[in-house]
Structure 1
Amino acid sequence: MNLKLTNNVVAFLLTISFLLLGLSFALDAGQNLLSATFSFYHIDSLISVSALGLLSGSFMIALGFATLLAHFQLMKPTGALLFASIISLIPLLTLLASNRWMTQLGGFPIIGSGQGIIKYFAVVPLYLFLFYKDKLTDKQHVLLNFIPVAMVLLWIGGMKFYEFEAKGIVSLVETSPFMSWLYTLFSVQGASNVIGGFDVLFALLLGAGIFLDNKKLIIVSGLACLSVFLMTQTFLFNATGAFSAATLFDGLGLFVIKDLWYIANLAVIAHLMLFQSAK
């Protein structure tokens, strides 16, 4: 995988994800997510949620086009990086609010909104790689892209060992042609434990492979991590109500589309660790 191909993959995934997310918010989807975010800043009392959705969606759509234009060198990348930083920072700062966490259950992020928020850690490292690759060393780029992958897999994988999360994923697992077989072998909690163990194990192995510069371990663990994020994309097609506006542009879609960023993170890691010796 040469640099041009990697850049194309990263740029495409960032562009399509922000265009879809922007369209979702602009269409007045995800009102609960917007309310939780902007109530942290006390803005929801000044402007309606619908207007906030249109504003947020417009910014994300603008970022999608800015990413594409900067990638083809039709505009300077500074604007795209600034947009990405602001769009990521606004929701990430709300992690300081207590209502984002389930302190009574080990401090995990709230299902849905909290899980979706931590995914924004993946964004800025991708823009730094795409437009400012030479400003950092390859090892720094690898670390910046690995941290969000490890964070989401360890965090959300760890949640799978709790009953509330095991029950929360039933509707997704039982309708998946790739995962429903787990319920024939295990209980609801047992299947969730297997999924969570898979996430945690291969996140740790990927970290070990990077630290040891072990290409075979990186390939095996990287493909396993990739399978997690590819699997979530299939939920859009086989979950209850698949292909409906509610699935594609509301809660599930808003949550799953963000996993495209992690596919891009893994593409960056693969490029730097497997196809280009880290400096």
Structure 2
Amino acid sequence: MARLNSLFTAFLTIAASTQKLGINLIRVAILVIFVWIGGLKFWNYEAEGIVPFVANSPFMSFFYTKSAPEYKEYKLKEGEFDEAKHQWHEENNTYGFSHGLGILIMTIGILTFLGIFSPKIGLIGAGLAIIMTLGTLSFLVTTPEVWVPDLGSGEHGFPLLTGAGRLVIKDVAILAGALVVLSDSARSILKQQNKG
């Protein structure tokens, strides 16, 4: 029993010592997710896919020239091309907005990652990541497409998430990770100030 307790204590000691590694891995994860997702915003299928979120958002809909729910007539499946629908998206600023959003998302991911080397830069990145994920989570309230529609099965509405809703809900984990990174950056900045 003493041997088992000793092994468990050794395990706890090792686990406790990995906290900084874990926080830095959160930074790396945010970098990978944000750079990858941000980069996808330069592809038409991704730009077209975010239209329901942006068009229904009271915070972002002004980036588009067309009003919701007009976009429903111009939806495209991933990988599909239709010249008339593509032209509508051109006129709507679908692609231009998506490119700008992609740059913003990638920048936030890079700033958050750089917190490994500079707590002040990391603090800015984590703060922006928190704001962005709160914005994304607001789609659960503003976007009808995140909930299963009533098509006769009796299974619809809250809490039944569609593919779009499942895409959004993952930001709860990113929000938690960004908060941990923000706290770590703030702690490092305070430590530097106390030394000075």
TM-score, normalization by structure 2: 0.64
Pairing of 1:263-278 with structure 2 (within 5 A): 263-275=175-187
The higher radius of gyration belongs to 2
For 2:102, the aligned partner's letter is G
* Aligned with 1:136 (options 15, 18, 27): 18
For 1:238, the aligned partner's letter is T
1:65-121 alpha-carbon deviations (Å, 9 max, x no partner)? xxxxxxxxxxxxxxxxxxxxxxxxxxxxxxxxxxxxxxxxxxxxxxxxxxxxxxxxx
Match of residue 160 from structure 2: 249
* Aligned with 1:162 (options 43, 48, 51): 43
Q: Closer, same or farther in 2 for the Cα pair 1:193/1:220, shift >3 Å?
A: same
Shift of residue 206, structure 1, vs aligned partner: 1.9
Match of residue 132 from structure 2: 228
* Aligned with 1:213 (options 118, 139, 149): 118
SS in 2 for 1:249: coil
Shift of residue 192, structure 1, vs aligned partner: 0.4
Distance in 2, matches of 1:275 and 1:133, equals 21
SS in 2 for 1:181: helix
Match of residue 173 from structure 1: 54
Distance in 1, matches of 2:145 and 2:47, equals 21
- CA RMSD in angstroms, aligned pairs only: 2.5
Shift of residue 181, structure 1, vs aligned partner: 1.3
Shift of residue 218, structure 1, vs aligned partner: 2.3
Work out the number of aligned pairs and report it. 144
Match of residue 99 from structure 2: 193
SS in 2 for 1:190: helix
Shift of residue 253, structure 1, vs aligned partner: 2.7
Which consecutive residues of structure 2, in runs of 5 or more, have no partner in the other structure? Answer: 1-13, 66-90, 149-155
Report if aligned partners of 1:229, 1:262 keep a CA contact under 8 Å in 2: yes
Pairing of 1:25-40 with structure 2 (within 5 A): none
1:5-43 alpha-carbon deviations (Å, 9 max, x no partner)? xxxxxxxxxxxxxxxxxxxxxxxxxxxxxxxxxxxxxxx
